[in-house]
Amino acid sequence: MLSLVWDRRPTYNNNPQITSNRIMTYAKLTYYAIFAFGYGFVGSLAHLVMVNSSWTFGHIVSLWRFARDIKIVYPPCDTKNLEDLPLSSRNNFILSIGQFRPEKDHELQIRSFAKFMKRLREENCLGDGDDIKLVLIGSCRGKSDESRVQYLQTLATQLDVADQTKFIINQPFSVLKEWLGRSSVGMHTMWNEHFGIGVVEMMAAGLITIAHNSGGPKLDIVVPIDGQRTGYLASSESEYANSMYQIFFCNSDDENTKIRSSGRKASRAFSDEVFEASFKSALLSSNILK
């Protein structure tokens, strides 16, 4: 956050009115610097610190400079429950899962999808891709999230992809699992997400996942395994659109199946069993139980 304010980059938690005003930027930077000092001092008093990813580890190490013991313990993901979904016979659906919060950046998903569809129109590929759809599944916490969904629906209409975009809101896990079993591609767009359980779930379910090239997805989740690609990383509209095009129109069926299999294999590193073992190991290797 300090670097975000210093760079004066507007985002959901850094208002453009502040980024455009140098004095307000310095005031906010001073506030965050004081908060970071206090946060780091208190955190350094902990005997054992568990963090949920490599990205969080680096973040905490830089702030809690005198913490005695910092260990990475990945959050538990119920990957076994998703591995019974078949890897083949998928529809050409691009699935997004996550609450409709501003930091999830669903707008980037719709704009990227629109750029992808525009390319198909320009290259006369719609005959081969007219069944491709973007499906956004998530929950709304209140009226602000509901207003965001309305904005996203309007944006899809403005970008001429409303007929190819579907919103599924506030549904149980059974509905999510059904769509995980039907979809071919998963899309995640949150910048610097500490971990990314949704990314793990999509990979465990056999989706070829395009995740944001930052945070936990970049450092821990969408990484090669046994020399094989486990998914794609992107950060801009063009990169996301190009990844979609690569998956649907450039890769062979065999290559996509290998990516699905490798992604599922990689997701097992974040299973409930791995979490239990890591948690116990972190406790036993520390001095807090002695």
278 belongs to a structural domain: no
Tell me the pLDDT band of 13, cut-offs 50, 70 and 90. Answer: very low
% of residues, the chain, pLDDT over 70: 84
79 belongs to a structural domain: no
For the purposes of burial, counting CB atoms within 10 Å of the CB of 231, is it exposed (0-12), middle (13-18) or buried (19 or more)?
buried
Question: Cβ of 287: how many Cβ atoms within 10 Å?
Answer: 9
Tell me the pLDDT band of 145, cut-offs 50, 70 and 90. Answer: very high
| pLDDT at position 32 over 70 | no
CATH code of the domain containing 226: 3.40.50.2000
117 and 217 both lie in a single domain: yes
C-alpha angle 13-17-19 in degrees, rounded to nearest 5: 70
User: Is the overall model pTM greater than 0.75, yes or no?
Assistant: yes
Under 8 Å between Cβ of 246 and 185:
no
> How confident is the model over 88-102, as a mean pLDDT?
94
99 and 227 both lie in a single domain: yes
160 and 218 both lie in a single domain: yes
Under 8 Å between Cβ of 151 and 169:
no
Residue 25 belongs to domain spanning? 2-72
Residue 74 is predicted with a pLDDT of: 97
105 belongs to a structural domain: yes
138 and 209 both lie in a single domain: yes
R_g of the chain, CA atoms, integer Å: 21
141 and 188 both lie in a single domain: yes
144 and 260 both lie in a single domain: yes
290 belongs to a structural domain: no
Report helix angle 237-245 to 106-122, nearest 10.
50
283 belongs to a structural domain: no
Residue 155 is predicted with a pLDDT of: 98
169 and 113 both lie in a single domain: yes
Question: Cβ of 33: how many Cβ atoms within 10 Å?
Answer: 12
Question: What does pLDDT average to over the chain?
Answer: 88
16 belongs to a structural domain: yes
250 and 114 both lie in a single domain: yes
Structure tokens at 208: 């070829």
- pLDDT tens, residue by residue, 184-218: 999 999 999 999 999 999 999 999 999 999 999 99
125 and 230 both lie in a single domain: yes
103 and 61 both lie in a single domain: no
Return the HEC string of the chain. CHHHHHCCCCECCECHHHHCCHHHHHHHHHHHHHHHHHHHHHHCCCCCEEECCHHHHHHHHHHCCCCCCEEECCCCECCCCCCCCCCCCCCCEEEEECCCCHHHCHHHHHHHHHHHHHHHHHCCCHHHHCCCEEEEEECCCCHHHHHHHHHHHHHHHHCCCHHHEEEEECCCHHHHHHHHHHCCEEECCCCCCCCCHHHHHHHHCCCEEEEECCHHHHHHHCCCECCECCCEEECCHHHHHHHHHHHHHHCCHHHHHHHHHHHHHHHHHHEHHHHHHHHHHHHHHCCCCC
285 belongs to a structural domain: no
Under 8 Å between Cβ of 13 and 175:
no
> Into how many domains does the chain fold?
2
68 and 166 both lie in a single domain: no
157 belongs to a structural domain: yes
18 and 99 both lie in a single domain: no
Tell me the pLDDT band of 25, cut-offs 50, 70 and 90. Answer: low
